[in-house]
C-alpha cells in the first residue's frame, strides 16, 4: 500500500510538470518515414533519413510475444506524422542509432508504450536514461494490470 501511494505521488509530480508549451530541449518537427519495430523508426532529419531508437525502453523482438502489437502501435502513433525529439544522456547507441525520446502532440511516445504494456523499461541502461524513474512508474501500472508484454 505504501509503495502504491509513493508511485501515485511520483506520477502526480511528473505529470504536473508537463505543459502544452513547446519544450526548448526538443528538436523538430521531423517526419517519420518508416517503423522498423516497436522501439525503432526512421525519420527525415535535415534531408537525411536517420534511424532512431526510442530511449529507455525495450519492446519484444521479431517472433516474440507482443512484437506485432508493439510495432503496430508505434506505427499507429507516429508513422507519416511529424514528431519532436529529445536527446538522452547518450547521443547514439552501440548500433549507431540516435537515442531519443519521441514526442507527438506533447505526449512522450516512449512513456505511452510502457504504460500501455507494449514495452518494458530498459533497466540495463538505467544510469544513462534521464527519464528512468518516470518510465518505471508507468511500467508499474502496466505490470500490476498485466497489460501487453506483462501478460505474455
Kindly list the structural domains of the chain, giving each domain's residue range(s) and its CATH number in brackets, ordered by start.
2-151 (2.40.50.90)
| Catalytic residue list | 53, 61, 97
Q: Which of 20-29, 89-98, 118-127 has the lowest mean pLDDT?
A: 20-29
Greatest Cα-to-Cα distance within the chain, rounded to the nearest angstrom: 51
What was the pLDDT predicted at 137?
98
pLDDT tens digits, residue range 48-103? 999 999 999 999 999 999 999 999 999 999 999 999 999 999 999 999 999 999 99
CB of 138 within 8 A of CB of 115?
yes
Is the pLDDT assigned to residue 10 strictly greater than 90?
A: no
What was the pLDDT predicted at 4?
53
Which residues, at least 6 apart from 91, have a Cβ–Cβ distance to it below 8 Å? 98, 99
Q: How confident is the prediction for the chain on average, in pLDDT?
A: 89
d(CA 79, CA 151): 26
List the one residue out of 102, 95, 84 whose CA is nearest residue 39: 102
Amino acid at each position: 500500500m505504501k509503495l502504491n501511494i509513493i508511485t501515485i505521488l511520483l506520477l502526480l509530480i511528473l505529470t504536473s510538470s508537463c505543459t502544452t508549451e513547446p519544450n526548448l530541449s526538443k528538436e523538430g518537427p521531423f517526419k517519420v518515414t518508416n517503423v522498423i519495430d516497436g522501439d525503432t523508426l526512421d525519420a527525415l532529419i535535415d534531408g537525411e533519413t536517420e534511424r532512431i531508437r526510442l530511449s529507455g525502453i525495450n519492446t519484444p523482438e521479431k517472433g516474440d510475444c507482443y512484437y506485432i502489437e508493439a510495432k503496430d502501435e508505434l506505427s499507429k502513433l507516429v508513422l507519416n506524422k511529424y514528431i519532436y525529439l529529445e536527446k538522452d544522456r547518450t547521443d547514439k547507441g552501440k548500433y549507431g542509432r540516435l537515442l531519443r525520446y519521441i514526442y507527438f502532440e506533447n505526449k512522450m511516445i516512449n512513456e505511452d508504450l510502457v504504460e500501455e504494456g507494449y514495452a518494458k523499461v530498459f533497466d540495463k541502461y538505467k544510469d544513462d536514461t534521464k527519464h528512468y524513474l518516470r518510465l518505471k512508474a508507468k511500467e508499474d501500472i502496466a505490470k500490476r494490470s498485466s497489460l501487453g508484454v506483462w501478460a505474455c
